[in-house]
Amino acid sequence: MSEIKEITEALLKFRDARDWRQFHNSKDLAVAVSIEASELLELFLWKGNEEVSVDRLKEELADILSYCLLLAEKHGLDVRQIIMDKIDQNAAKYPIDKSKGNATKYTDYDRIQ
């Protein structure tokens, strides 16, 4: 069993033991991801770029990743595959010769030349 599947199974076991599946519809899982991402951002509010509590960072990342895994599982998505597919898509959008060392969006490449 892959680590992702192992983690997902642990999340499902935790959820099901509490009868929370009824609350885990797609919309609410997506909303939870957004809320938890906002809590992650709050850790950096009014601080320097790297000035963050690592313990709080771990907590918020765990929340975000957990809801993402639950949402992927709900839709039968292979997390490894969708990430690998996205890397391939981004490699096509951001070729090394145009993107290395800069943060220009691919739609703006023609403007910087």
- Kindly report the pTM of this predicted structure: 0.90
Q: pLDDT-derived band of residue 104, with 50, 70 and 90 as boundaries?
A: confident
Percent of the chain with pLDDT over 90: 82
Span 88-106, average pLDDT: 91
Q: Which CATH number fits domain 3-77: 3.30.70.260, 1.10.600.10, 1.10.645.10, 1.10.287.1080?
A: 1.10.287.1080
Domain spans of the chain, in order of start: 3-77
Looking at residues 2-25, what average pLDDT do you find? Answer: 98
Alpha carbons 82 and 88: distance in angstroms, whole number: 10
Neighbours of 48 (CB within 10 A): 7
